[in-house]
Amino acid sequence: MKHGRAGPMHLGLFLKATGHHIAAWHHPGVALDAVTNARHFIELAQAAERAALDFVFFADSLGVREGQADYICKFSQFIAYLEPLTLLSAMATHTDRIGLVSTASTSYQQPYHVARLFASLDHISGGRAGWNVVTSVNDAEGLNFGRTGHFGHDERYARAEEFVDIVKGLLDSWDDDAFIHDRASGRFFNPAALHTLDHHGKYYDVRGPLNMARPPQGYPVIFQAGTSGPGRDLAARTAEGIFTGALTLENARAYYADVKGRAAEHGRSPEELVILPGVTVVVGRTEAEATEKDRYLQSLIREDVGMRYLEELLGMDLAGCSPDEPLPDRSSSRAELGMFKTVTALARDERLTMRQLYRRLAGSYGKLTLVGSVERVVETMSQWYREKGCDGFILQPSVLPHDMDDIQNLLVPALRAAGLIRNKYEGATLRQHLGLARPHDRSGS
């Protein structure tokens, strides 16, 4: 391959109903019922499969986002939407190869539920499921589960580590060959191939076993998006796919080296981790065409929405500030988090006004945005890949389904022409797409 790295660049597709741009739902090409329109999502997954992308991904929340009512009304398409595992199960019956990945919180769900849900999705899809491990950060979620406040930051991650261990243990309740279905002997399964977890930990007591055969992949592929110190440790210890939010190649390379280096501390090889920065691409056949697409999207942003968006992104009070001023040096509820540090560094280093900052980040929720001719965008993606800033990307389209046409017809063909991605699927499971080994069962088979 021309890029000089072993194996293909990996590409996932992060689906939000009308797209990631904060003004996406104002675009005339968007279906306003998209948030609850299963057919809309199925068609997007089918398009991603035609492009031979590795997977589609859904984020999730267990509560309604709260904040200034006027802002929420104007901005958020994410107030009410379909439960993603239910939706992915429907999508599994309309696709054959594309991976199906969803968030499930370790803060307000139980390990047994999560193990059973993802094992079921893996069986339904024939081995295409992935679980994005998150610790909830929305205060409203806690209120829905009998808590008046969040777990502390470090406790959330400690709970998550134990939670993931339990889920893996439950998924190993049965050996791969436990169900022998032997009519002649009258034995449906082998009792010796059944294992009881009997976990008693700091946060959870779970007996097991799971009432579900071992999934086709052994475990669904485990994703995580750690940016803080504890988050990076959790990713290095437990994750196989890692979502990141680097905005510069320098930061991407530092994160890549750090997390892959931490993997060795947990007895893992760097090749067991696939690191995928989020990226929004606004491409055209020429620079002018791409710039015009971006200009139109930015024209849809209301000033009050842009400023409130920055407040939410940074956990910072910007009341009384002019959007044409630099970002003020104020305290933040998210001062220790990777997103805050990354965005404030961008604003400082490029001397951006708040208006310039929210426009820069409007299409990607604080992730990388590339605007330009498809050749220039591919050149940048290739550089990040060649120079070990990533193992691929998770695409975050600004407007859906509009941007899917550009991904299929412009971006993917150009990436293939550059020798960066495969021409077709070479495996059947998500693990095979990502070059990840299938974990052995307890018998070692």
Q: Which pLDDT score is estimated for 86?
A: 96
Q: Who wins on pLDDT, 229 or 168?
A: 168
* φ, ψ of residue 380 in degrees (nearest 5): -65, -45
What is the DSSP annotation of 229-277?
HHHHHHHHHH-SEEEE---SHHHHHHHHHHHHHHHHHTT--GGG-EEEE
Q: What does the pLDDT average to over 79-104?
A: 94
- Measured torsion, CA atoms of residues 409, 299, 61, 160, in degrees rounded to the nearest 10: 80
Q: Which pLDDT score is estimated for 70?
A: 52
Q: Who wins on pLDDT, 315 or 78?
A: 315
Q: What does the pLDDT average to over 110-116?
A: 97
Q: pLDDT confidence of 135, banded at 50, 70, 90?
A: confident
Q: Which pLDDT score is estimated for 1?
A: 39
Inter-CA distances, 403 with 16, 290, 296, Å? 12, 12, 14
Residue 409 has pLDDT above 70, yes or no: yes
Residue 325 has pLDDT above 60, yes or no: yes
List, in sequence order, every residue forming a beta bridge with 100; answer none if it has no partner.
56, 129
- Report d(CA 338, CA 356) in Å as an integer: 21
Q: What does the pLDDT average to over 50-72?
A: 78
- Report d(CA 372, CA 378) in Å as an integer: 10
Output the pTM of the full model: 0.90
Inter-CA distances, 105 with 1, 10, 26, 109, 111, Å? 38, 25, 30, 6, 10
Q: Are 388 and 259 in contact (CB under 8 A)?
A: no
Q: What does the pLDDT average to over 84-91?
A: 96
Identity of residue 233: D
Q: pLDDT confidence of 307, banded at 50, 70, 90?
A: confident
Q: Which pLDDT score is estimated for 65?
A: 66
Residue 406, token pair as written in the block = 């550009």
- Report d(CA 361, CA 313) in Å as an integer: 10
The proportion of the chain whose per-residue pLDDT surpasses 90, expressed as a percent, equals 63
Q: pLDDT confidence of 255, banded at 50, 70, 90?
A: very high
Q: What does the pLDDT average to over 102-107?
A: 93
Residue 166 has pLDDT above 90, yes or no: yes
- Placement of tokens 């620079």 in the chain: 287
Residue 352 has pLDDT above 70, yes or no: yes
- Report d(CA 390, CA 386) in Å as an integer: 8
